Chain A
């Protein structure tokens, strides 16, 4: 296969991943690495580099719109980015000493978790009552837009959220993914932010988290322009198309189907990891 043919196919595959990622809200980043390694036989290190670059593009592109709508909690995002960037640096640092097949196994487990989360329904757990002391000192409580006007919410369990964000950062740096699933988990379930605030703030943080490990990857030669460019452009175009189609779609069924696909990919990654084929 010539480079031109490969890049064309990569663009199409990445476009599909970005489209599905945006439609299901699960993000396309997690399936980019399996697409490149299992689908195109690319070395997992190049795949991780290309995936990370794509993650920065889509999260920044989407965050531009969400921030303006007023859902994103900038303070919560900024505070938790301390945990995710340091986590991402640790993950990228450790990645150099971990065998590729072990990375594939960890990747498979993270995908299985994402698939399981994708089947769950999301409910807001907004709490009212005495404000959390730490959240008050850090002035994290805020409001978000609802059809009935701005609604106030309180933030809880800041240390637990911070710790989970460190884990999200490590996974992002180790696997080249945005790890939005873990980020949303930390904010939605641990810190009790409204779901829409959690997803938009997570997306806001993903670009910075990914940029923290991207520098280290660049120096290590993980970012190969001939692979990273078509992948990044494909995911970006797919995600933008998906975001535009989103309002008129029933996404619940789509999420379930996608979760099954992600689970299948997870087993494929685990099999390849354990048999040492990656």
Chain B
């Protein structure tokens, strides 16, 4: 099949692969830096406390919603900053699906636009709704 592709198409495919690769790398790097920065600040303040992670609390806190995390970041809450880095990490694959959807649309490959849209819908449902 691929042998029958026009050479412009193959170059196009390669460009999309490069962009996807760069996006994933940048997403992970930025998320890790934000979370690490928040983590250092968090540990500087709370490092000597004794955690109780053997008990699941699971009560709703501001760290459990996107809005709450953003409010916390605005208020310079260090735990919220760590969680914001983690949210950026979760958002990285979502951005990747959006990028491939756009690439398929530019190529007028409507079948794969629909397939990407279904995946994107499932991801947004999880992140925003739930």
Measured between beta carbons, the chain A residues less than 8 angstroms from B64 are 218-221
CA of A92 to CA of B122, assembled, Å: 13
Closest to A228 in B: B86
**Residues 104 to 130 of chain B near chain A (Cβ within 8 Å):** 111-112, 115-116, 118-119, 122-123, 125-128, 130
Select B27's contact among A60, A139, A143, A221, beta carbons within 8 Å: A60
Contact B82 A229 (CB under 8 A): yes
Interface residues in A39-98 by Cβ distance below 8 A to B read 40-43, 45-46, 53, 56-57, 60-61, 63-65, 67-68, 70, 72, 74-75, 78-79, 81-82, 85-86, 89, 92
The CA-CA distance from A89 to B126 in the complex, in Å, is: 7
Contacts of B17 in A (CB 8 A): 67-68, 70, 72, 74
Those of A182-239 within 8 Å (CB) of chain B: 207-208, 210-216, 218-230, 232-233, 236
A141 touches B24 (CB 8 A): no
In the complex, which residues of chain B have a beta carbon less than 8 angstroms from the beta carbon of A228? Answer: 82, 86
A1 within 8 A of B: yes
Which B residues are CB-close (under 8 A) to A220? 58, 64, 130
Other-chain contact of A61, B24, B54, B91 (Cβ < 8 Å): B24
- How many A-B residue pairs lie within 8 Å, measured between CB atoms? 211
A2 touches B2 (CB 8 A): no
B50 contact from A1, A82, A219, A222, Cβ within 8 A: A1
Across the interface, B31 reaches (CB within 8 A) one of A57, A74, A78, A89, namely: A57
Interchain CB contact (< 8 A) of B16 among A74, A142, A152? A74
A49 and chain B: residue at smallest CB distance: B86
Residues of B within 8 A of A70 (CB): 14, 17
Question: Which residues in B have their C-beta under 8 angstroms from that of A245?
Answer: none
Contact status of A152 and B32, CB under 8 A, knowing A3-B49, A42-B53, A63-B24: no
**CB nearest to B69 among chain A residues:** A218
Please indicate the chain B residues that have their CB under 8 angstroms from the CB of A57 in the complex: 28, 31-32, 89
B126 proximity list for chain A (CB < 8 A): 89, 92, 211-216
Question: Shortest distance in angstroms between B48's beta carbon and chain A's nearest beta carbon?
Answer: 5
Tell me the minimal C-beta distance from B45 to chain A in angstroms.
10
> A233 CA to B82 CA in the complex, in Å?
12
Please name the residue on chain A nearest to B87 by beta carbon: A218
A sample of 30 cross-chain residue pairs with beta-carbon separation below 8 angstroms, ordered by A number, consists of A2-B47, A3-B49, A4-B43, A41-B54, A43-B53, A57-B28, A57-B32, A60-B93, A64-B24, A68-B18, A72-B17, A74-B17, A74-B20, A78-B112, A78-B119, A86-B122, A141-B1, A152-B2, A207-B24, A211-B91, A218-B65, A218-B127, A221-B61, A223-B83, A225-B38, A225-B63, A226-B53, A228-B82, A229-B38, A236-B28
**Residues of chain A whose beta carbon lies under 8 Å from any beta carbon of chain B:** 1-4, 6-7, 40-43, 45-46, 53, 56-57, 60-61, 63-65, 67-68, 70, 72, 74-75, 78-79, 81-82, 85-86, 89, 92, 131, 136, 138-139, 141-143, 150, 152, 207-208, 210-216, 218-230, 232-233, 236
